[in-house]
Amino acid sequence: MTPAVHIKNQTYIEPAIRTIAGGFIVACGVLIYLQPQWSWLWLSILFFVGFNLFQSGLTKFCMMEKLLKKLHFRSELDEIRNLSQANAEAEARAAFYDTLGLLNEVVIELSRNGTIAFLSDHWLKLLGSDHRSNAHFLGLPFLAFINKQDRSTLEKLLDTLLQGDRDTMSMRFRLMRDDQDEHWVEGKFALYRKLGQVEGIRGVLRDVTETHMQEKRISHMATHDALTSLPNRIYLDDRIHEEIELSRIRGSQFALLFIDLDNFKQINDLHGHKSGDRLLREVSDILRSNLRATDVLARWGGDEFVVLLPFSQNADIPRQIAGELMQKLRMNLERTYSDAFVTLSIGIAVYPEDADNGEALLVQADKALFYAKSQGRNNIQMFRDLQSSATGYEDVDMTSRFVAAVKQGVLQVYYQPVMDARDHSNIVGVEALARWHDDKYGWVSPANFIPLAENLGLINEVGRQVLEHALDHFSQCSGLCSDLKLAVNVSKRQLMSADFYPMLLAMVGRYGMKPRQIKLEITESIALQGIEQARGYLQKLSDAGFTLSLDDFGTGFSSLSHVHELPFDEIKIDISFVRRIKTPEGRVLVKTIVDMGHAMQLALVAEGVEDQETAGILLDMGVEMLQGYHFSQPMSKEDCAGFIEQLRAPLPAPRAAVS
C-alpha cells in the first residue's frame, strides 16, 4: 500500500474534531489564565493537552491531499505518489504480459507505420521461429510475415482501420513460415489511442490452421463427387453463374459440353460395378488431363459429365475440343475395354447464343446430347444446329417428352390378333404392341420411339412396362384367353441384358401365367451378336417353355443356315415380303421362305395381311397363321376383349356392333 493511497482514503472528520477540541481546550486555558484564582497546575495541564490535540489535528488536516492542493502545495508527497503509481503500473504490466504469455493466442501491437511494437510470447511458436526472444521482431514490418497471396488484402484492411473508417476488423490469412506449410491465422485488430491520439493497432492472432483445413475438407465434400473427386453439380452451378457474370463484363462467351458414356451400362453388366467405377475414374482422368486449367470438368451424375469451356471468338472451338476428347478417350480405353467399345455422345450449348441463364443453358446442352444419342451415339451435336434444322429440334423435343413419358409410365399397350389361316374366325393369339400418345405430338409410331428408346438406353424399361401391362391384361381375361398365345416383342438389347431372364420369369409367375402361353418375338439381328452367344440367350428361354418367334424374317443380315442353328419355333414373314406377294418374284420369295421354314420344322406366320386375296395365297403356300389389317388393326385391351368375345360367342353377331 502506498502513502498516497493511504492519505487518499482518510476522512476530514477525525483531524477536524482533534483541531476543534484542542482549540477549545487552549481557549479554556486562556480563560483560566485570566482568572488568577485558578491554580497554575490546572492551567498547565489543560494547555498541554489542548495544544497537543490542536497541533496533531492541524497537522493531519494539513496533510490532506485536497487541502494541500488548494493551498498550491507541491510537495514530496506528489513525487512519492507518482513514483509509486509508475511502479504499480509496471508491476501490473509485467504481470499482464506474463499472463499473455500463457495464452495460445498472440497479442500484437503495431505502430502507425505498421512495424511491430509488441508481441506476446506465443508469436515464436505461431511463426515456427528458432529465435529465443520476441525482441528480434520488434521494429520489423508486420506484413513481411504474411503470405504474399494475402498480404495486400490485409494491408488494405489495416489502412482502413488506421484511417478511422472502422474500429475493429478481422481477417483470416496465411503466415509466411520457413517450413512452407500452409499456416492459417485469424487476426482481430482494433485501433488503440492514447489521450485521444491514434497510437497504432492492437491485435490478437489465433492459429486456425486445423479448423481451416477441416472447413476446406467439408466444403470440398459438399461440392465434389466422392468417386472421381471432380466438382459436382453444386460447384458447377456456382461456376456457371460466375462465368455468366464474367462473360457479361468482358462480352465473351463460353460453352457447356454435356457428355455421356455410350456403353457404360454394358461395362457394368459385363464386368461388374467395381469395373464400372474404375472406368468412371479413368474417364474423368482422361477428360481432365485433356482440358485446360481454366476449364471446369464436373460429374453430373451416373455416367454423365459436364465441361464448362470458356473460349474466344472462334465458334468452332467447342466442337473441336469435344472431338479431341472423344478421340483421346477412345485411344486410351481401347486396350482396356476391348470387348465393350467405350464412346462418348456430346451435346453442346453456348452462352449467350443458346440461353441467357445457367439453367436454360444446361437444358439446351442436354437436348443436344439427346439428339447426339439418337443419331446413333459416338456423336457430337451443337444446340445451334438443332435449332437451324427444324426436324432436329423437333426430335430433341420429342425425345425429352418421350423420356418423361417412360419415367411416368404412361406408355400403353395395344393388341393385334393372330388368326388361324384356315379358319379366319379362329383367333390363336395376340401380339402386344407398345403405344405412346403425347399431348403435343399425338400418337407417335413405335417405329419411331422404339429405336429412340434403344439409343437412349431405355428399351429395357419400355420392354418391362409393356410386358407388365400385357401380362396384367392377359391374366384378367383368363377364361377367354386361356388358349391364346400372347406375343411380345423383345429387342436385342433387352434380351442380352443380364436381368431380362429372371425379370421375365418372375413377372410371368407373378401374374399366374405359364411360359408356354407367351411368345417372344425376336428379330434376326440377335444372330449378329454371334451365333454361340445368341444360342445361349435363346436356349435358356426355350428350355423354360417360351415360344420363340423369328420376327421380320428376311430383312436381317443372318443367313438361313444361322436360323437353323438357333432354337426358334416359328418364323414371322416380314410385311415387306407379304406386300409383294401378288408379283411373281414376291410370290417366289415368300414360297422359298415358307418351304425353308417347313424344312426346318418351324411354324409360319405372315404379318401385314391386308386383304382376302393375300390371305388365300398364303394359305395355299402352307402358312399357318395370319396377322394384319384384313382381320383387325391393333386395338385397346377393351376392344380386343370385345373382338375375342364376338368371335367366340355362341351366336354370331354383326361385326359393326362390336367395333
Least spacing, CB of residue 519 vs ligand C2E, in Å: 11
Q: What is the smallest separation between the CB atom of 462 and Ca ion, expressed in angstroms?
A: 14
Q: Which residues neighbour 155 within 8 Å (Cβ) at sequence distance 6 or greater?
A: 114, 143
Q: Which does 597 bind (CB under 5 to 8 A by kind): Ca ion, ligand C2E, none?
A: none
Place of cell 479448423: 211
Nearer to ligand C2E, 363 or 575 (CB): 575
345 contacts Ca ion (rule: CB under 5 A): no
Which residues 6+ apart lie within 8 Å of 194 measured at CB? Answer: none
Of 231 and 634, nearer to Ca ion (C-beta) is 634
Which parts of this chain interact with ligand C2E (CB under 6 A)? 416, 433-434, 445-447, 450, 463, 466, 489, 491, 521, 551-552, 575, 607-610, 627-629, 634
β-pairing verdict for 116-119 and 168-175: unpaired
In terms of CB distance, is 342 or 578 closer to ligand C2E? Answer: 578
310 phi/psi in degrees, rounded to 5: -70, 140
By a kind-dependent CB cut-off of 5 to 8 A, residue 593 interacts, out of ligand C2E, Ca ion, none, with: none
Which CB atom, from 225 or from 570, has the smaller least distance to Ca ion?
570
Residue 628 CB, nearest approach to ligand C2E (Å): 3
151 or 493: CB nearest Ca ion: 493
Residue 355 or 450: which CB sits closer to ligand C2E?
Answer: 450
**34/261 Cα distance (integer angstroms):** 131
Stretch that binds Ca ion, among 242-250, 362-370, 547-555, 559-567 (CB under 5 A): 547-555
**Does the protein bind Ca ion through residue 551 (CB under 5 A)?**
yes
* Residue (18 or 492) nearer to ligand C2E, CB: 492
Query: What residue type is assigned to position 490 of the chain?
Result: V
**In this complex, which beta carbon is closest to ligand C2E, that of residue 10 or of residue 525?**
525
Minimum CB separation of residue 607 from Ca ion in Å reads 5
Contact segment (CB under 5 A) with Ca ion among 70-78, 264-272, 481-489, 512-520 equals 481-489
How far is residue 54's CA from residue 20's CA, in Å, rounded to a whole number? Answer: 7
Nearer to Ca ion, 260 or 607 (CB): 607
489 binds Ca ion (CB under 5 A): yes
Among 524, 552, 570, 624, binds Ca ion (CB under 5 A): 552
Q: How far apart are CA 291 and CA 210, in angstroms?
A: 33
Q: What whole-number distance in Å separates Cα of residue 161 and Cα of residue 165?
A: 6
Give ∠ CA 36-38-41 in degrees, rounded to 5: 115
CB of 561 to ligand C2E, least distance (A): 23
Q: How far is the CB of 605 from ligand C2E (least distance, A)?
A: 11
Q: Considering CB distances under 5 to 8 angstroms, the limit depending on partner class, which of Ca ion, ligand C2E, none binds residue 515?
A: none
- Asked if 570 interacts with Ca ion (CB under 5 A), we say no
Minimum distance between the CB of residue 565 and ligand C2E, rounded to whole angstroms? 23
Closer Cβ to Ca ion, 120 or 489, answer by number: 489
Give the nearer residue to Ca ion in terms of CB position, either 260 or 521. 521
Closest contact distance (angstroms) between CB of 482 and ligand C2E is: 23
Q: CB 651 → Ca ion: shortest distance, Å? A: 34
The site partner of 434 among Ca ion, ligand C2E, none (C-beta below 5 to 8 Å per kind) is: ligand C2E
- Terminal CA-to-CA distance of the chain, rounded, Å? 119
Q: Judged by CB under 5 A, which of 105, 521, 524, 624 binds Ca ion?
A: 521
Cell numbers linked to 327: 478421340
d(CA 110, CA 169): 14
Closer to ligand C2E by Cβ: residue 355 or 486: 486
In whole angstroms, the minimum distance from the beta carbon of 583 to ligand C2E comes to 17
Q: How many CA atoms lie within 13 A of 77 on its CB side?
A: 18
- Structural contact between residues 85 and 78, judged by C-beta atoms closer than 8 angstroms: no
Residue in the structure block whose three cell numbers are 410371368: 508
Residue 608 binding: pick among Ca ion, ligand C2E, none (C-beta 5-8 Å cut-off by kind): ligand C2E
- The secondary structure of residue 136, as a DSSP letter, is G
460: its cell numbers? 429395357
Q: Which does 157 bind (CB under 5 to 8 A by kind): ligand C2E, Ca ion, none?
A: none
Q: Which residues of 192-218 are buried (b: 16+ CB within 10 A; e: fewer)?
A: eeeeeeeebbbbbbbbbeeebeeeeee
Tell me the closest approach of the beta carbon of residue 496 to ligand C2E, in angstroms. Answer: 13
Cis-peptide into 502, omega within 30 deg: no
Burial of residue 80, with CB atoms counted within 10 A of its CB: 0-12 exposed, 13-18 middle, 19 or more buried: middle
Residue 339 is classified by DSSP as T
* Closest approach of ligand C2E to the CB of residue 416, in Å: 6
Tell me which stretch binds Ca ion (CB under 5 A): 165-173, 355-363, 517-525, 578-586. Answer: 517-525
Considering CB distances under 5 to 8 angstroms, the limit depending on partner class, which of Ca ion, ligand C2E, none binds residue 126?
A: none
Task: Render 293-338 in DSSP notation, one character per residue.
Answer: TTSEEEEEETTEEEEEEEE-S-TTHHHHHHHHHHHHHHHHHTTTTT
Minimal distance, residue 494 CB to ligand C2E, in Å: 6
Q: 489 or 614, CB closer to Ca ion?
A: 489
Distance CA 330, CA 342 (A): 7
Q: How many residues bind Ca ion (CB under 5 A)?
A: 4
- Choose the contact partner of 455 out of Ca ion, ligand C2E, none; CB within 5 to 8 A by kind: none
**Structure-block grid coordinates of residue 611:** 386383304
Do 363 and 340 contact (CB within 8 A), yes or no? no
628 contact choice in Ca ion, ligand C2E, none (CB below 5 to 8 Å, kind-dependent): ligand C2E
433 binds, among Ca ion, ligand C2E, none (CB under 5 to 8 A by kind): ligand C2E
Torsion of CA 135, 141, 142, 144, to 10 degrees: -110
Query: How far is residue 207's CA from residue 185's CA, in Å, rounded to a whole number?
Result: 5
610 binds, among ligand C2E, Ca ion, none (CB under 5 to 8 A by kind): ligand C2E
> Is 12 or 629 the residue whose CB approaches ligand C2E more closely?
629
Give the containing element (helix H, strand E) for 135. none
> Residue by residue, what is the 3-state secondary structure of 415-455?
EEEEEECCCCCCEEEEEEEEEEEECCCEEECHHHHHHHHHH
Could you tell me the three cell numbers for 576?
Answer: 415387306
Q: What is the spatial distance between Cα 172 and Cα 149, in angstroms, rounded to a whole number?
A: 12
Residues that bind Ca ion (CB under 5 A): 489, 521, 551-552
